Amino acid sequence: MQLKYKIVTLSVLPLIVSVLFICVLVFAQSQKLEEEQAKLIESSILAAKQAELKNYIELASSLIAPLYDSGKNDEATKNQALDILARANFGVDGYFFVYTREGKNLMHPRQSSLVGKDLLGMTDKNGFPVIRALLESAQHGDGFQRYAWEKPSTGQVTEKLSYVVMLDQWGWMLGTGIYIDDVEVATKKSREEVASGVLTTVLAISSFALIAVLVVFAGGLMLNFTEHRLADRKLCALNQRIVNLQEEERSRVSRELHDGISQQLVSIKFQFELACLELQNGQGNGLENLRSGTARLGDAIGEIRRISHDLRPSLLDTLGLSPAIDQLVAEFEQRTGILTHYERSIGEPLGDKNISVTLFRVIQEALANIERHSRASIVIISLLDAKGAIALRIEDNGVGFDPGLMDKSQGIGLRNIRERVDHHLGSFTVSSSPGSTEIIVEIPIQRA
């Protein structure tokens, strides 16, 4: 996976997981809230209906109160009371009913087929013993009972709530009821409202999450595009620096070959030609010119060896780092006249051959900078083994410079040192003041 996709994934994935967790939590809480609200609505409606049923029973009791309180227990009085209750209807489906203690129906204004029948063992569609439960509730309970019964207005069996009381003097059970299918409608509506609210909330969260994901995605793409352009610019600058370094190195080698060795070889050629002419003509100084040309040829060979050594020291490949540094220090001291002291306490060979090349190039670059800019008279080079790392310290007593201007400088020497050290995950520090400049390099190492 490319880096830009990794960044976008790491940014978007936690957001998506968080939104999913929030949605699941909202659904769970909504289910709980839905049940609690449905129960609250149902209980409040039932409480209102229970109070309404009590009022209806009180009304019915007041209608037959003169007959009941008269103390008469004859059939005529009872029939008169039953006739009053049969006419006392309320609403479309509201009526009163009367049963004996034994479960015999005495009055039912909406289902006359039940009158006179023993209904103690009657059950509803769910197998619930309706009359038996009503008698039990009237005699020993609160008088309220729920069961399924046929609704007169629709002819369909519907949930019903009844309230019954005992008229002990006559041995009657007087009751009435209200069909509570509207309770189911109200609770269903409440559940639908809660579900609709939850859906709206989830959609809102999802919309905001989608917008956030798009913003993060767009931001990630913009960031990646910006970083990509910045990386391209840095890469172009690095490529240009490499090209410039190559051209500078080629120019240096070309200049040294043209101004040094080429001139010497041309001069030696002329001197050998002159010696040949003198020897052919029998002149006595021909042999001397030949010897002089041979000596100068040796100097040219030494110059070629020096250039070759600057490009790649052979001792570094054959004998190792310390002999190569010894030779580099000796040549530097001989060429510049600067007193150079080199001390070391490292073993050979190092674990990584490239580290040896890096250390050698760091010392070579530092000595070149000292020769060009420092006007120093003493240089101290220390190469020490420091607990799993190699510590290189180069100090001189030159004029110094401002390390803060190192990155702004057009020179590439110190930057080359830093890049070489960074390649090995090492550390590079420079401190300088008039009379002292110090370079410290530490490179972690694992010996074979």
pLDDT score, position 350: 65
Q: Tell whether omega for the bond before 349 is within 30 degrees of 0, i.e. cis.
A: yes
Where are the domain boundaries for CATH 3.30.565.10 in the chain? 314-444
Above 60 in pLDDT, residue 409? no
pLDDT score, position 446: 66
Q: Determine which helix (DSSP H) or strand (DSSP E) holds 111, and give its type and residue range.
A: none
Share of the chain above pLDDT 90, in %: 26
pLDDT score, position 136: 93
Count of CA atoms in the C-beta half-sphere (13 A) of 399: 7
Phi, then psi, of 161 in degrees rounded to 5: -115, 125
CA 34 centroid distance within chain: 34
- Mean pLDDT confidence for 256-269: 77
- Mean pLDDT confidence for 72-92: 89
Above 50 in pLDDT, residue 13? yes
DSSP string, 246-296: HHHHHHHHHHHIIIIIIHHHHHHHHHHHHHHHHHHTT-TTHHHHHHHHHHH
pLDDT confidence tier of residue 213, bands split at 50, 70 and 90: confident
Above 60 in pLDDT, residue 270? yes
Above 80 in pLDDT, residue 221? no
Above 60 in pLDDT, residue 120? yes
Could you say which DSSP state residue 7 is in? H
| 416, 428 contact by CB (below 8 A) | no
pLDDT score, position 282: 75
- Mean pLDDT confidence for 33-59: 86
Fold of the domain spanning 314-444:
Heat Shock Protein 90 (3.30.565)
- Mean pLDDT confidence for 259-286: 78
pLDDT confidence tier of residue 280, bands split at 50, 70 and 90: confident
- Mean pLDDT confidence for 334-344: 90
pLDDT score, position 4: 62
| Cβ contacts of 104 within 8 Å, gap of 6 or more | 116, 117, 118, 119, 120
Selected residue with higher pLDDT from 357 and 99: 99
User: Picking from 48-62, 263-277, 329-343, which range would have the lowest pLDDT averaged per residue?
Assistant: 263-277
pLDDT score, position 344: 86
Place of tokens 């978007």: 12
pLDDT score, position 448: 37
Above 70 in pLDDT, residue 1? no
pLDDT score, position 312: 66
- Mean pLDDT confidence for 316-333: 83
- Mean pLDDT confidence for 326-350: 84
Above 90 in pLDDT, residue 206? no
Above 50 in pLDDT, residue 447? no
Interhelix angle 413-423/353-369, rounded to 10 degrees, is 160
- Mean pLDDT confidence for 408-424: 75
Per-chain mean pLDDT for the chain: 83
User: Tell me: the pLDDT tens digits for 149-188?
Assistant: 998 888 889 899 999 999 989 999 999 999 888 777 777 7
Q: Is 142 helix (H, G, I), strand (E, B) or coil?
A: coil
Q: What is the CATH number assigned to the segment(s) 3-185?
A: 3.30.450.20
pLDDT score, position 8: 66
Above 60 in pLDDT, residue 403? yes
Share of the chain above pLDDT 70, in %: 92
| Cβ contacts of 170 within 8 Å, gap of 6 or more | 68, 73, 78, 81
